[in-house]
Each structure stands twice: as structure tokens, then as C-alpha cells.
Amino acid sequence: MKYLQLVLICLFLFATENTYCQNNEVNIETTKLSNNVYMLVGQGGNIGVSAGDDGVFIIDDQFARLTPKIIEAIKAISDKPFQFLVNTHYHGDHTGGNENMTKQGVKIIAHENVRKRLIDGESSKEALPIITFNDRVNVHMNGEDVKVYHVEHAHTDGDALLYFTKSNVLHTGDTYFKSRYPFIDLKSGGSIDGYINAVKKGLSLVNDNTKIIPGHGAVSNKAEYASFLVMLENLKANVQAEIDKGKTEDEVAANGAITKQYDDLDYGSGFINSERIRRTIYQSLKH
């Protein structure tokens, strides 16, 4: 099992052009986005950090083996105590450090399906969110309100978007892969329609000055986020047109014309290639 996990992680990293599997070296890079909000990039989902007088508030925690480096990076920002951590969803590259972070004193907050899926995955008690919500929750810390919204059946069935109202920063979790085809985890309750709705929800929260932390990829902005929505809507319409013509999944998978416009822009160069996104959208629409 451990070996399989490692192989899968390495495949994933290979797809995301990460070199961990070659040299075991991961550095955590910190980018300041506002007075008190930071983005940390290591390996796996992007981490958000709010640090201020009330303490440290963290969004997602990548993999357990990276926890010491993540803690070091956060301590370089702030010497205040770790207070809360929100999981944007249950995937291991966003929750793998949960148990370690609980030992640092955080209380983990997440949608109730995140807790359910972590329990199903036999996570330890320390790795579980102890505060769960089903629609939305607000965190009032470091001089601003952080609004946490659940979006239904998007990347999974437990996704959350977080908007820092004063800092004007949005963390999308994996409902946004910058300039790449997204992973829509149909087996965990994700869907193309829910995914599109999640991006619309996110777009309704932001303005031209918002800094957007995508689940994967570099810091983004409203214009790029809006073009990502157009991409999803175009692909959905293209796949639906094939379905309406009576095409099978394999025919859609083999039809590069459906995604060509975005393949040419390298959208298929990440974790999800162009055939995989065509299959995913087909399966989701036929479901």
C-alpha cells in the first residue's frame, strides 16, 4: 500500500513537473499577498496563511513529510500561536499534514464531507476536522472576516472557497487549477456543473484587485479566473454537442478537436491531459 501511494504520488508529481522523486528536495516558497495573508508553495495544494495579532490561520497543509518545512516557513512569517486550519477538501495533498498540525495546536475546520471522507480513509483522530460546517462559516481573525463558502459537487463533495474580505484574497482550493485542465473527482462527488458553479461563485466574490490562490499553480487574478470559466463552459458545450450526436465516451476521448483551442494553450500539460478532461466531462454529463 505504501509503495503504491509513493508510485501514485510520483506519477502525480511527474505530471506537475515537480522534481521531488528525483532529488527529494522540496522548498517552501512564501509570497506575501497582503498585509497579513501569504501563499506558500511547496508540493501539493497551495497553502494560505493569515498571520497577525490573533495568531496564525492556515488553509491546507500538503503532505505530512513536508510539515517541518511548512512550520519553518510559517514561523519565519510569525511567532504567534497556530490557531485554526481549514481544509479546502479531503485530498491527501491538502490534508496530509493534518495530524502534525493538530500537534502544533491548530483546530481543524472543514466541510462535513471532508471529515466523513477522512474517517472513511481511516485517518487518525488527530487528523480530523473537529469543527465542521455544511454551508458556510466565518472566521474572524487578524482584523478581518474570512468567509468560508461550501460549493456543491464541484472538485469533490466537500469543497470550500475562502475569501479574506479586507485583504481581498480568495483561496479557491482545487476548484481552480490555473491555466490547466482541472481534476474533477467524480468518484468523490465532483461534477462538471458543480465545478462551473464553484468558479461562478468565486468570481462573484472577487474584483480586479483580488489576489487569487488557486489550488494548484501560481497566484492568479480575476481576468485569468474568468478565462478559466470560459474554458470550462466551452468544453462542456463541445462535449454536450457530441453527446447530442450520439457519440460514445471513446469517440469523445479520441476527438481532439473538442479541446484543441485549449490544448494549444498548454491546458493539458498538467495533472489532467486533454483526453482525460474529455472523458471526465463526458462521464459527468452522462451521469
- Find the shortest distance in angstroms from Cβ 88 to Zn ion: 8
In this structure, what are the phi and psi dihedrals at residue 101, rounded to the nearest 5 degrees?
A: -70, -35
Placement of cell 499553480 in the chain? 217
- Find the shortest distance in angstroms from Cβ 37 to Zn ion: 21
Contact mark string toward Zn ion, 159..198, x via CB under 5 A:
---------------x------------------------
- Find the shortest distance in angstroms from Cβ 156 to Zn ion: 7
Q: Which is closer to Zn ion, CB of 139 or CB of 184? A: 184
- Find the shortest distance in angstroms from Cβ 159 to Zn ion: 9
Q: Which is closer to Zn ion, CB of 91 or CB of 153? A: 91
- Find the shortest distance in angstroms from Cβ 48 to Zn ion: 15
* CB 154 within 8 Å of CB 173: no
Compute how many other C-beta atoms are within 10 angstroms of the C-beta atom of residue 85.
Answer: 26
Beta strands in 95-227 (DSSP E): 107-111, 131-133, 136-141, 144-151, 159-164, 169-171, 211-213
One-letter amino acid of 24? N
One-letter amino acid of 106? V
DSSP reduced 3-state for 58: strand
- Find the shortest distance in angstroms from Cβ 32 to Zn ion: 25
Residues 6+ apart with CB under 8 A from 93: 12, 43, 44, 45, 62, 63
* CB 138 within 8 Å of CB 148: yes
Alpha carbon 79 to its chain's center? 27
Q: Please tell me the count of residues contacting Zn ion according to CB under 5 A.
A: 2
* CB 71 within 8 Å of CB 94: no
- Please, which of residues 238-277 interact with Zn ion by CB under 5 A? none
Q: Which is closer to Zn ion, CB of 40 or CB of 56? A: 40
Q: Which is closer to Zn ion, CB of 188 or CB of 255? A: 188
Q: Which is closer to Zn ion, CB of 174 or CB of 263? A: 174
Cell digits for 243?
A: 453527446
- Find the shortest distance in angstroms from Cβ 68 to Zn ion: 23
- Please, which of residues 63-92 interact with Zn ion by CB under 5 A? 91
Q: Which is closer to Zn ion, CB of 12 or CB of 238? A: 12
- Find the shortest distance in angstroms from Cβ 212 to Zn ion: 17
- Please, which of residues 118-147 interact with Zn ion by CB under 5 A? none
In this structure, what are the phi and psi dihedrals at residue 123, rounded to the nearest 5 degrees?
A: -65, 155
Helices (H) and strands (E) in the chain, counts: 11, 12
Q: Which is closer to Zn ion, CB of 172 or CB of 210? A: 172
Q: Should residue 117 be labelled a site residue for Zn ion when binding is judged by CB under 5 A?
A: no
Contact mark string toward Zn ion, 89..108, x via CB under 5 A:
--x-----------------
Residues 6+ apart with CB under 8 A from 287: 186, 191
Q: Which residues bind Zn ion (CB under 5 A)?
A: 91, 174
